Amino acid sequence: MTMPTGLAHECVSLVPLFNQLTHADKETIESIVHQHHYQPGETIFSAGDSLDSLMIIASGQVKVYQLAENGKEQLLYLLKTGDFEGESALFSQTTRQSFGEALLPTAICQIERSDFQMLMQQYPSISINLLNEFGHRLSKLEKRTTQATTSSIESRLADYLVETSAGLKETTFKLPLKKKDLATYLGTTPETISRKLKDFEDQGFITQGGGKKVTILDSDALALIS
Amino acid sequence: MTMPTGLAHECVSLVPLFNQLTHADKETIESIVHQHHYQPGETIFSAGDSLDSLMIIASGQVKVYQLAENGKEQLLYLLKTGDFEGESALFSQTTRQSFGEALLPTAICQIERSDFQMLMQQYPSISINLLNEFGHRLSKLEKRTTQATTSSIESRLADYLVETSAGLKETTFKLPLKKKDLATYLGTTPETISRKLKDFEDQGFITQGGGKKVTILDSDALALIS
DNA sequence: CGACACTTTGATGCGCGTCAACCTCAGTGG
DNA sequence: CCACTGAGGTTGACGCGCATCAAAGTGTCG
């Protein structure tokens, strides 16, 4: 399944994970990655799959979500180019607990568990980079959990708009998710998102254009919503 | 602040983090830890503090929580002997985002950021152990977030009871938290906890004894609550 | 034994999920 | 080029779960 394209090179050079390595080191890594391509809507992995490789997004976009017992979907992460996914742990778990689905045409590089563990032994900087990334994810998840259990939907949506805008450094932007997915991300329903956005518009905090476009007019007011 | 007790030894030998090290290695680590003691109710660290050391619980119990903007408390972790806390990242963050409070008389060993990073360079197994731990925390948090946004309080409480019972390998046990803290852990209020526990009792799933004691009668029924 | 924190119980209200109908729009085939 | 279709989005009506407020009960530690 390994292909003779430049994609392996992209994977390795793109990812912050391998930042500190020399060119030669990166080449040895390139030789052990495997590649796959996925179409929008295609499932990349499912809960229950055995977890035997680290996946790196070479291009495209992947949504990672869990299903609750009642069948409800919870969007956990949205992975973009350069992000990676190893179920938070190529270490502890052996079975996946979440689903991955391509939202765009997506190319993925995989490194086998054993190969990756060898790499970590050989290049300690990889572990440090991984710890960094895990630390960030943990902090963000802690904040999300706190928000999910203590704040209103209104507040969570406002916060999401402000953060997304800040992340893109644009006050006008297109929502990166379908409302349905945004709803599961925030732990609510599309209907409620619709209503709250309308409320925000009525209060003059935002304006909505066609095609999921949003303009933030008063981010301070949004940030103050409790 | 370093003290000549055997506590430093305990810290290092207790923690899974340092499992694979030789006795000699552990002794060098013991020489660089600092120690502190705290009384129940005492605050160990606060949000906004600078984050410059890894903390290991030598004995006692610590609750780690965040405050939402509306002032509500969210219990994130309950740390027991052998657990550690470095705000999920001695790496990325420089400022703490959570609070730590001793619930029992508690002894804590600290390792300075720079010392710890040196240790990780020297002993790669420490990084691997850390990655393991972070992986576990991430998985658990992902599950909690999913539950928080998709399931009812009833379901979350039922799940908590089952998991706690399974963790202790006892069907009769004392709740390790005050109802007030349990409430913030599950993202609800003490009143609701009271009522739901009564419901469970009425339905014959559990019985309640004095002093936070609970006996699980039908864990299957509890697990089925959606 | 008194004071204070925790817990329980009841009454009330509101946020948001649910269900259903309608609207919009992009893609498809005639 | 336009009607057809189906998915995503919007809007309204309604009800339930749980937070909130208040007050009485219980435990615990000095």
Tokens standing for residue A58: 């070479």
What nucleotide is nearest A190 when CA is compared to C1'? D9
Which residue's C-alpha is at the least distance from the C1' of D18?
B192
pLDDT of B11 above 90:
no
A38 in Cβ contact with A60 (< 8 Å): yes
pLDDT of B32 above 70:
yes
Per cent of chain B over pLDDT 70 is 94
Q: CA-to-CA distance for B113 and A62, rounded, in angstroms?
A: 35
Per-residue pLDDT of A66-102, as tens digits, reads 999 888 999 999 999 989 998 766 666 678 999 999 9
The pLDDT score that the predictor gives to residue B4 is: 45
A32 in Cβ contact with A112 (< 8 Å): yes
- To the nearest whole Å, the CA of A3 is away from the closest chain B CA by 31
B48 in Cβ contact with B138 (< 8 Å): no
Q: CA-to-CA distance for A213 and A170, rounded, in angstroms?
A: 12
The answer to whether some atom of strand D lies closer than 7 Å to the beta carbon of B147 is no
pLDDT of B2 above 50:
no
- Secondary structure in 3-state letters for A79-147: ECCCCEECCCCCCCCCECCCEEEECCCEEEEEEEHHHHHHHHHHCHHHHHHHHHHHHHHHHHHHHHHHH
Provide, as residue numbers in chain B, all residues whose Cβ is less than 8 Å from the Cβ of A183.
none
Domains and CATH numbers, chain A: 7-146 (2.60.120.10), 153-225 (1.10.10.10)
Helix and strand totals (H; E) in chain A: 8, 11
The pLDDT score that the predictor gives to residue A3 is: 45
Q: CA-to-CA distance for A10 and A59, rounded, in angstroms?
A: 9
Q: Which residue of B has its CA nearest to A146?
A: B74
The pLDDT score that the predictor gives to residue B12 is: 86
Per-residue pLDDT of A176-210, as tens digits, reads 999 999 999 999 999 999 999 999 999 999 999 88
The pLDDT score that the predictor gives to residue A91 is: 65
The answer to whether some atom of strand D lies closer than 7 Å to the beta carbon of A36 is no
Q: Which residue of A has its CA nearest to B128?
A: A127
Tokens standing for residue B203: 């339905």
The pLDDT score that the predictor gives to residue A196 is: 97
pLDDT of B33 above 90:
yes
Mean pLDDT of B102-108: 93
The pLDDT score that the predictor gives to residue B211 is: 80
User: Helix (H, G, I), strand (E, B), or coil: what is residue B183?
Assistant: helix
Per-residue pLDDT of B135-177, as tens digits, reads 889 999 999 999 999 999 999 999 999 999 999 999 999 999 9
CB contact under 8 A, B143 and A66: yes
A86 in Cβ contact with B164 (< 8 Å): no
Q: CA-to-CA distance for B23 and B37, rounded, in angstroms?
A: 26
Question: For residue B163, how far is the Cα from the chain centroid?
Answer: 15
Given pLDDT bands bounded at 50, 70 and 90, which one contains residue A2? very low
